[in-house]
Chain A
Amino acid sequence: MYIKYFSRRFYAVFFVFFFFFFFLITRILFIQFFKGKYLKSLAKKQYNLYVELEPRRGTIYDRKLRPQAININIDSLYACPNQINDKDDFVNKLVPVLKLDVPYLKDRVDRKKSFIWIARKLSPDVVSSVHALNLKGVGFIKESKRCYPNGSLASHMIGISGLDNIGLEGIELFYDNYLRGEPGFALFLRDARQKKLELWEKMIPPKDGYDVILTIDEVMQFIVEREIDKMCKEFNTQRAAIVVMNPHTAEILAMANRPTFDLNNAFNIDQQTRRNHAVCDLFEPGSVFKIVTASAAIEENKFSEEVKIFCENGDYLVGNHILHDHRPHGWLSFREVIEQSSNIGTTKIAQGLGPEVIYRYIKLFGFGSKLGIDLPGEASGIVHPARYWSKTSIGAIPIGHEVAISALQLVSAVSVIANGGLLMKPYVVGAIQDKYGEKIKEFSPSVINKVICADTASRIKDILVGVVDNGTGKLAAIRGFRVAGKTGTAQKIEADGSYSHKKFHASFIGFVPADDPVIAICVIADEPSPYYYGGVVCAPVFKRVATDILKYLEVAPQLVKKD
């Protein structure tokens, strides 16, 4: 009987333990096989940290590899409000160092969050001042900031990038795909206090952005910026532009606009100031446009340089409009018409060619359409087809009115004459390379179309040399060099549609040395005063810019025989 009771107790205990262990094992199997993945993911979230690795934005260099835009890592200040004990004391200590408003900082610190930004991308001296305060509840995170060591140099061309290192304007925008790079990521380990360790389970490194090499030269750009400042100061000009180009390759060597801005403080600047006037804005060119009419006349063999044209002594009826010269002329040769910039003489030349021919050459010279420069916002210009010309248009368009062009188109047009008749596509980026200096892409000169033959270009060149030697462009003459150029003074249009007698657009285009041109320059000034003639305002600027650039490029002067 005792044995019988013992067996029952034994089996009872055995089954209790059996069910207990059965339940335990079932539970273990359930956790392992059915909840395993979920629990693993929870654990991974705790001890793994997914971090996106920011790529380095590419550097922008000038043609001699001098950096124009670089990225540097700068500290940004954050705070953990729940770790700050005395918030008033915290705010009072930080405000004088960071130069922030007290209400703004107090509002941020009072938020019920575990993390807030206080100030982004601080300068090193501000960072060290904050460190010296020894505050609890603050920390620094490294962020990448785009910096421009030359300030406002070539500001419109280089452009700006935003806080998240995405290009917004200029080269920064146009080549953003190359400059931006690709982010990577890493799964870092964390300790029990959620602190990130420098150990990772998985990492895909970021792909740094490519570097961009511009065609501009920092020294030439500086020369141009200095001279444009002088011109604006001397002639009270609010808006101006200078473009320097290699006429054979169409590389932009320098491009300056006024007003300008510092690229390091660009976000408070209005849109008008940040606008690249040389590329994006249009104006009526005036007499500089006569190079088109003259080129068409010579190319079509309708006129030669010595043909005499009667300039009506200063008054000429075209349609129902009386055309005037700035100075009355009688009989002038074709050459003299251009040298003295006679509107009447040019109109008669245009009448001899006809509207269709003039329009064809205007389009051949690249006006009325985009040239395809690698900068955003290029304006195509306004040129009306010949069938839309009125009776007075033949007296306006050939002398640079009733058309709207940009400074870039103007310098490209004069380069046609300089390089023997080819319209070249202008560009500002010469090459793209990786961070090790290996070239990824190189850009080479490309021809848009042939405009005139080499002989015509040579003859027009001689006429333009005459403009500087004997005509309206005397102030552009450079000792020791033959300079070819053309002046322009265009009346601006008033709000009521009439031409103003007080507001003018002055311009000068030219290239030097005339026989083997190295540079072509376009200078434009909007509403200069008190003087407004292109030959007075812009020609001296051309001379100063060209003189210094020729010295910098070590171009030997030509000894000119004086008659």
Chain B
Amino acid sequence: MRLNRFLILTGVITLVALGYVNQQNKIYYFGYSNGKKQTELSNLLDNNNILRYNINKWSSLTCLDDKILQNVDFEIPSQRRLVRLETAEQKAQFKEPKASASLIVSFFSRARQAEAQTINR
């Protein structure tokens, strides 16, 4: 009876000890695997930051100026255009040529010229 109790007690203590050792092993195992994942994650984040930095750098105006615009005088396009309107007096001074009576003659008239209309008015 006493031997049985002794054996049971020893068995329980051994199991608890083994359980504790296993727990410590698992802790260190998770520590290693966590470390690997942490390294991978930080590498990915760092690469992401480096890529974002490179995108900002290469798309910056200074870099574009260095690479592309060395021989070009860059100018911001104007949103508007100033157009000087003719006054009535200026219009009166200018005499328009009379339209030719003959249709055939009008084809050969100097006053007739092709007009290209701009897309942006």
**B75 to A548, Cβ gap below 8 A?**
yes
Task: Judge if B107 is at the interface, Cβ distance under 8 Å.
Answer: no
In the complex, which residues of chain A have a beta carbon less than 8 angstroms from the beta carbon of B45?
Answer: 73
**Contacts A67-B56, A124-B50 given: A199-B82 contact, CB under 8 Å?**
no
**With the chains together, A557 CA to B37 CA distance in Å?**
59
Interface size on B, residues (CB 8 A): 30
Task: Judge if A120 is at the interface, Cβ distance under 8 Å.
Answer: no
**A196 to B56, Cβ gap below 8 A?**
no
Partner of B63, one of A70, A151, A557: A151
Segment from A142-150, A413-421, A529-537 that makes contact with B:
A142-150
Task: Judge if A480 is at the interface, Cβ distance under 8 Å.
Answer: yes
Segment from A218-226, A322-330, A383-391, A463-471 that makes contact with B:
A218-226
Task: Judge if B49 is at the interface, Cβ distance under 8 Å.
Answer: yes
**B60 to A197, Cβ gap below 8 A?**
no
**With the chains together, A151 CA to B60 CA distance in Å?**
9
**With the chains together, A219 CA to B42 CA distance in Å?**
33
**B60 to A551, Cβ gap below 8 A?**
no
Partner of B62, one of A73, A150, A548: A150
Task: Judge if A554 is at the interface, Cβ distance under 8 Å.
Answer: yes
**Contacts A124-B50, A142-B46 given: A198-B38 contact, CB under 8 Å?**
yes
Task: Judge if A191 is at the interface, Cβ distance under 8 Å.
Answer: yes
**B62 to A480, Cβ gap below 8 A?**
no
A256 CB to nearest B CB, Å? 12
**Contacts A150-B62, A153-B60, A222-B61 given: A199-B80 contact, CB under 8 Å?**
no
**B46 to A199, Cβ gap below 8 A?**
no
Complex interface residues of chain B between 20 and 35 (CB less than 8 A to chain A): 27-28, 30-32, 34-35
Task: Judge if A132 is at the interface, Cβ distance under 8 Å.
Answer: no
Task: Judge if B77 is at the interface, Cβ distance under 8 Å.
Answer: yes
**Contacts A149-B60, A218-B61 given: A548-B50 contact, CB under 8 Å?**
no
**B50 to A222, Cβ gap below 8 A?**
no
**B82 to A480, Cβ gap below 8 A?**
yes
In the complex, which residues of chain B have a beta carbon less than 8 angstroms from the beta carbon of A479?
Answer: 82
Quick one: CB contact mask for B48-81 with A, threshold 8 Å, 1 for yes? 0110010011001111010000000011111110
Task: Judge if A39 is at the interface, Cβ distance under 8 Å.
Answer: no
In the complex, which residues of chain A have a beta carbon less than 8 angstroms from the beta carbon of B75?
Answer: 548
B79 CB to nearest A CB, Å? 6
Quick one: CB contact mask for B74-110 with A, threshold 8 Å, 1 for yes? 1111111010000000000000000000000000000
Task: Judge if A552 is at the interface, Cβ distance under 8 Å.
Answer: yes
Partner of A73, one of B31, B49, B63, B78: B49
Contact residues on A (Cβ < 8 Å of other chain), bracket: 35 or more
A31 CB to nearest B CB, Å? 21
Question: Which residue of chain A is the closest to B32 with respect to CB atoms?
Answer: A197
**B53 to A70, Cβ gap below 8 A?**
yes
In the complex, which residues of chain B have a beta carbon less than 8 angstroms from the beta carbon of A147?
Answer: 53
Partner of B49, one of A72, A198, A226, A554: A72
A261 CB to nearest B CB, Å? 13
Quick one: CB contact mask for A336-350 with B, threshold 8 Å, 1 for yes? 000000000000000
A61 CB to nearest B CB, Å? 11
Chain A residues touching B, majority SS = mixed
B89 CB to nearest A CB, Å? 14
In the complex, which residues of chain B have a beta carbon less than 8 angstroms from the beta carbon of A249?
Answer: none
**Contacts A67-B56, A149-B60 given: A199-B49 contact, CB under 8 Å?**
no
A91 CB to nearest B CB, Å? 28
Quick one: CB contact mask for A120-131 with B, threshold 8 Å, 1 for yes? 000010000000
**With the chains together, A147 CA to B61 CA distance in Å?**
16
**Contacts A124-B50, A548-B76 given: A142-B60 contact, CB under 8 Å?**
no
Task: Judge if A3 is at the interface, Cβ distance under 8 Å.
Answer: no
In the complex, which residues of chain A have a beta carbon less than 8 angstroms from the beta carbon of B56?
Answer: 66-67, 70, 149
Partner of A199, one of B31, B57, B65, B79: B31
**A72 to B53, Cβ gap below 8 A?**
yes
Q: Which of A189, A197, A218 has the most CB of B within 10 A?
A: A197
Quick one: CB contact mask for A42-79 with B, threshold 8 Å, 1 for yes? 00000000000000000000000011001011100000
B3 CB to nearest A CB, Å? 23
**A222 to B46, Cβ gap below 8 A?**
no
In the complex, which residues of chain A have a beta carbon less than 8 angstroms from the beta carbon of B38?
Answer: 198
Task: Judge if A495 is at the interface, Cβ distance under 8 Å.
Answer: no
In the complex, which residues of chain A have a beta carbon less than 8 angstroms from the beta carbon of B37?
Answer: 198
Quick one: CB contact mask for A494-523 with B, threshold 8 Å, 1 for yes? 000000000000000000000000000000
In the complex, which residues of chain A have a beta carbon less than 8 angstroms from the beta carbon of B65?
Answer: 222, 226
Task: Judge if A559 is at the interface, Cβ distance under 8 Å.
Answer: yes
A65 CB to nearest B CB, Å? 12
Task: Judge if A333 is at the interface, Cβ distance under 8 Å.
Answer: no
Task: Judge if A236 is at the interface, Cβ distance under 8 Å.
Answer: no
**A554 to B50, Cβ gap below 8 A?**
no
Quick one: CB contact mask for A68-110 with B, threshold 8 Å, 1 for yes? 0010111000000000000000000000000000000000000
In the complex, which residues of chain B have a beta carbon less than 8 angstroms from the beta carbon of A70?
Answer: 49, 53, 56
In the complex, which residues of chain A have a beta carbon less than 8 angstroms from the beta carbon of B74?
Answer: 226
In the complex, which residues of chain A have a beta carbon less than 8 angstroms from the beta carbon of B82?
Answer: 479-480, 557, 559
4 tightest Cβ-Cβ pairs between the two chains A and B: A197-B31, A149-B57, A149-B56, A198-B34
22 A-B contacts, Cβ less than 8 Å apart? A70-B49, A70-B53, A142-B42, A149-B56, A150-B60, A151-B63, A153-B62, A189-B27, A191-B28, A197-B28, A197-B31, A199-B27, A222-B61, A222-B62, A223-B76, A225-B62, A480-B82, A548-B75, A551-B76, A551-B77, A551-B78, A551-B79
Given contacts A222-B61, A222-B65, A551-B76, 15 further A-B contacts (CB under 8 A): A149-B60, A150-B60, A150-B63, A151-B57, A151-B60, A153-B62, A191-B28, A197-B34, A198-B31, A198-B35, A222-B62, A479-B82, A548-B76, A551-B78, A551-B79
